[in-house]
Structure 1
């Protein structure tokens, strides 16, 4: 029996077959070669994607077919089928730089207290630019998703937190996941370079999220991580209310009142 790979890159794909080869090729170009790619066909209906994934044959790559259940469920399915000790989620229309996996895995290898390794982003597609990801902060992450989804972590920690919550039907399942990792006491380490390439499209999920959906997701975040919010309210009340003065204000009041 062959040895399991160190890293599993999990790529959910829903009707993004036109971009998939770019994502897969960026993984196959990694300086870290001890890897596998798990593509999850999340019930695609686009004829091109359906035909592509019927017989998708790329090195170190396998395809898992599921009924459409959303991004969180697709990621969980891919990770459940992954053989690697380390997990990197990657959207089917994004790419990663050649050294990302090697450098991120080295940190997890050397630092058992580190739980998540992330980096800066380069934007491409309908808009170009750089996103200098802020350093992780235990209080700041309660009000802003500081860490994008394509970060490396241990599969064992995914198991401990119960995976991604499928209740975040409008998005932010990654934000919720990072809060769960925070509750485990995991350290977040940032690589200060743009090693992830994020494609901007007019149909990007976060850009199209309506206000009422954002409010619903905020309420769910606070309900699932109430202890984190109450801890911050107790120790840094001024900072918390400054950070949450906008949409989070009445949500915080609910958390305080129970």
Structure 2
């Protein structure tokens, strides 16, 4: 018998073409006691049209429109209207295994020391049969999370924990908001558990928020997290220093390898006449 109500929060911004596939995976859940809140984050595409089609299919689907404010803002908005004791974020382009809730919910129900329950994840491109990577998170406490986020955003957690930490940090519009959120949930002593089954499918696209974040904002976001939670990073100062100096070393070595590369030498040779002209004409 399904007991705990789970609120599945699906923010959507420019992902209407994937939305139905994600919602179909919700509808097919073998665990029946859920509500699904589709949050239209001011999307300029057909998100509203697609969402309303699903409202007609099943009354467990709900719809919320808001002005565009970014992913953490959209998640928070959906959770504020939710009725469930447990929360499950689901991005509009990802897919749940049909037994996701059936396997995950009982684990969180049975252990009050847990804040989060996650699972193994398969990364795919285009279609589910095209698996490109498998993620198997480890650890149970914040110590395994402070230097690298291994938990996907689609992990189950208690709504009361979300309330206690003030929700997702809405200033983190450029990614890593879920990483910061997991640290906030667990640094007080609560733990997380990983169910060792592949129950979630993450769509890897050439162009995505995650790719953009890694390419442009990774260091800035990490700096923000380190400073916001400086109590735990100072507590683990030796490990923090080791990680930071590792990043400095790899960055320096990367620059040295670049300067040794043939492409760099050719580029430098091509630009030399232009640099001479710049000096001559004081440009």
> Which category of TM-score, normalised to the shorter sequence, fits these structures?
0.7 to 0.9
Q: TM-score, normalised by structure 1?
A: 0.87
- Which moves more between the two structures, 121-130 or 199-208? 121-130
User: 1:138: Cα distance to partner?
Assistant: 2.9
Pairing of 1:34-53 with structure 2 (within 5 A): 34-46=33-45, 48-53=46-51
User: 1:146: Cα distance to partner?
Assistant: 1.4
The 8 Å contact of residues 119 and 137 in structure 2, kept in 1 or not, is answered as no
Q: Does 1:165 align with 2:169?
A: yes
Pairing of 1:59-98 with structure 2 (within 5 A): 59=58, 60-98=60-98
Q: Hey, which bits of structure 1, 4+ residues long, moved more than 6 A? A: none
Residues paired across the two proteins, number: 241
Pairing of 1:82-121 with structure 2 (within 5 A): 82-121=82-121
Q: Which has the larger radius of gyration?
A: 2
User: 1:131: Cα distance to partner?
Assistant: 2.1
Runs of 5+ in structure 2 lacking a partner?
Answer: 250-283
Q: Does 1:218 align with 2:216?
A: no
Tell me the alpha carbon deviations over residues 174-220 of structure 1, each in whole angstroms, 9 at most, x when there is no partner. 00000101223211100111111001112211112265522221121
Tell me the alpha carbon deviations over residues 143-168 of structure 1, each in whole angstroms, 9 at most, x when there is no partner. 11111100000000000000000111
The 8 Å contact of residues 138 and 144 in structure 2, kept in 1 or not, is answered as no
Q: Report what 2:187 is aligned to.
A: 183
The 8 Å contact of residues 121 and 197 in structure 1, kept in 2 or not, is answered as yes
User: 1:102: Cα distance to partner?
Assistant: 1.7
Seen in structure 2, the aligned counterparts of structure 1 residues 202 and 124 have a Cα distance that, compared at 3 Å, is: same
Question: As a proportion of its length, which structure holds more helix?
Answer: 2
Seen in structure 2, the aligned counterparts of structure 1 residues 210 and 179 have a Cα distance that, compared at 3 Å, is: closer
Seen in structure 2, the aligned counterparts of structure 1 residues 212 and 248 have a Cα distance that, compared at 3 Å, is: farther
Q: Does 1:193 align with 2:193?
A: no
Query: Could you tell me how far apart the structure 2 residues matched to 1:198 and 1:114 are?
Result: 24
Give SS of 1:209's match.
helix
User: 1:105: Cα distance to partner?
Assistant: 1.0
Q: Does 1:10 align with 2:9?
A: yes
Seen in structure 2, the aligned counterparts of structure 1 residues 88 and 156 have a Cα distance that, compared at 3 Å, is: same
Seen in structure 2, the aligned counterparts of structure 1 residues 74 and 145 have a Cα distance that, compared at 3 Å, is: same
For the aligned residues, what is the CA RMSD? 2.0
Seen in structure 2, the aligned counterparts of structure 1 residues 103 and 56 have a Cα distance that, compared at 3 Å, is: closer
The 8 Å contact of residues 19 and 50 in structure 2, kept in 1 or not, is answered as no
